[in-house]
């Protein structure tokens, strides 16, 4: 599923439901024995960054365990968020406020993707402003373009979970105990 397909899916969902639930698109590569597979997984994001990372690590591990002998082709995370623009007044930066408290905030859809490019994962991000009518109906998604990023914390957590699935539960537990210094 390429970026245009994902955007079309997001638009259809917002038109139907008025909003978009955070979603993982997990693409499992084809093998000689199995066709490529696409898994869509809606997620309820916890409040803190650590909790979100742990949840996505767990999702990556669980899905990786159920696809032990398969390669991950791509994972994409899509969510709505608010964005504030950097502002300057009289040549000086205006104090930044949280987007949730910014009356000039923009409602956007963020799409983070990590895809396997011959053994390494490359990361990119796309952002789209949600253009709505006065009554809140979606008109369109306006692209801010593609940004190449070195990595995204949430996708990195998912990828670490996926990679950890190669370990047995016993080896994984031993690794955790060793990292925590409990041995």
17-41 tens-digit pLDDT: 888 899 999 999 888 888 888 888 8
CA distances (Å), origin 145, targets 7, 51, 111, 183: 13, 29, 11, 48
Share of the chain above pLDDT 70, in %: 92
Mean pLDDT, rounded, of the chain: 84
Task: State pTM to two decimals.
Answer: 0.81
Give phi and psi for 84, each to the nearest 5. Answer: -110, 145
- For residue 151, is pLDDT > 70? no
Give the contacts of 78 (CB within 8 A, at least 6 positions apart).
Answer: 6, 10, 20, 22, 23, 25, 109, 110, 111, 112
Instruction: Give the residue-averaged pLDDT of 146-160.
Output: 76
Confidence tier at 63 by pLDDT (50, 70, 90): very high
The domain segmentation of the chain, as residue ranges, is 3-180
Share of the chain above pLDDT 90, in %: 14
71-100 tens-digit pLDDT: 888 899 999 888 887 777 888 877 777 888
CA distances (Å), origin 51, targets 1, 56, 65, 157, 161: 28, 9, 21, 11, 14
Contact of 3 with 111, CB cutoff 8 Å: yes
């Amino acid at each position: 599923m390429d970026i245009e397909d994902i955007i079309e899916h997001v638009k259809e969902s917002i038109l139907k439901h008025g909003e978009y639930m955070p979603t993982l698109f997990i693409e499992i590569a084809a093998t000689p024995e199995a066709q490529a597979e696409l898994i869509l997984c809606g997620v309820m994001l916890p409040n803190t960054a650590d909790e979100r990372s742990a949840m996505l690590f767990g999702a990556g591990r669980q899905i990786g365990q159920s696809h032990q002998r398969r390669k991950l082709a791509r994972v994409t995370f899509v969510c709505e968020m608010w964005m504030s623009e950097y502002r300057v007044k009289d040549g000086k930066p205006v104090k930044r406020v949280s987007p949730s408290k910014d009356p000039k905030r923009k409602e956007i859809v963020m799409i983070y993707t990590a895809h396997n490019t011959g053994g390494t994962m490359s990361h990119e991000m796309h952002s789209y402003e949600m253009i709505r009518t006065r009554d809140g109906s979606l008109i369109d998604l306006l692209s801010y373009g593609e940004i190449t990023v070195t990595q995204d914390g949430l996708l990195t957590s998912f990828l670490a979970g996926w990679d950890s699935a190669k370990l047995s539960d016993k080896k994984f537990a031993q690794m955790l105990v060793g990292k925590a210094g409990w041995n």
